[in-house]
Chains A and B, each alone.
Chain A
């Protein structure tokens, strides 16, 4: 159970870094090209969704294999 907790923690670190990076790049891009903001936003959400999907998958696996 403890190891599962560590695993979930690691997953969340990775997830946070990944989504944080996506958000940072998206904000940079939006600041540089405000007229493209809506397109960048949907692309950002899609990318974040993919990363989050992988992360959630890992969390579920962590729960299931305890």
Chain B
């Protein structure tokens, strides 16, 4: 009863806040019309967070002389036409250009892009991207941080078993999740699962820990690695390779001949089967990317509403809404890792088993 009253009060509070906010917004909209760039800033802020960058910003503040930032410089590594460059990102700060062997390296926003990228000028061309840009970006650094976290958790958990086979405290929780993921693999793949269980476990925790890291809003977390399409694509490619390398004869026969249908139908079904082979990892990568990035964008937009509307009153509903979305995102972070693992296991199971 009390909790129900609390819920109702909360909803009323939110509605009040919302109506206040919309009211204020209507008022402010006219006042802010002249200050259009303010809103563009928010898009930039969101993209700056959601996308990758060459340095890791810890905190930023306004001073009289302009914007100040405390950030960790990260190594910029790139290759172009026989030339390597390996510098700290701080050496490109404030539009500095580095000239080496007739090539000029600098940071700029390429056409059709939103954030700064490493560019170079050659004697013949201007503003082109290097052939290979393997800079240790914020996402890469965050990924290594996540690797350290994962190794710390699981290696120490594994060590706890040396003392006794019965887990105590946190190790028990780790074991419960590990067994949960192992069961996914066992259920979907069947008897051949033992080979894939380590992959499934690593996949699940790599995604999950990175989702959580993305949600904690302070340094050294708050990066959007698992919402980066390159990251999800790599993991989906991993599943794709595993699926097809270990596929049974039955899988290929099924895909390329589609037994049990009339001959004419095969002309339609065989291309569909082959396309499905590629669609599967594609949906895997897009689902994870869209969910995580979408979550980040929603949270940032809700926070940004305070600044867009420019009113302290807006902060209450905005923060409440953010809190709700935040809790939802925490659940989704685990759910997306689960779905990615489950579907990977399902696809591998479909491919490696003779009959299904």
Contact = CB atoms under 8 A, between A and B. Distances in A.
Contacts of B290: 56, 59-60
Contacts of A57: 279, 282-283, 286
Interface string B279-323: 110111011001000000000000000000000000000000000
A46 B283 contact: no
Contacts of B187: 42
Interface residues of B, number: 15
A53 B287 CA distance: 6
Contacts of B338: 45
Interface residues of A, number: 12
B334 to A, nearest CB: 12
A49 interface: yes
Interface string A51-64: 01110110110000
Given A42-B187, A57-B279, A49 B287 contact: yes
A12 to B, nearest CB: 11
Contacts of A49: 283, 287, 339, 342-343
A17 B329 CA distance: 22
Contact of B339 (A45, A54, A60): A45
B279 A53 contact: yes
A59 B282 CA distance: 13
B342 A45 contact: yes
A46 B286 contact: no
A47 to B, nearest CB: 11
Interface in A27-66: 42, 45-46, 49-50, 52-54, 56-57, 59-60
A60 B280 CA distance: 15
B279 A46 contact: no
B104 interface: no
B346 A46 contact: yes
B342 to A, nearest CB: 6
Given A42-B187, A57-B279, A57-B282, A52 B287 contact: yes
A56 B338 CA distance: 18
Contacts of A46: 342-343, 346
Contacts of A42: 184, 187, 342
Interface of B: 184, 187, 279-280, 282-284, 286-287, 290, 338-339, 342-343, 346
Ranked 9 nearest A-B pairs via Cβ: A53-B283, A56-B286, A56-B290, A49-B343, A49-B339, A56-B287, A60-B286, A45-B339, A52-B287
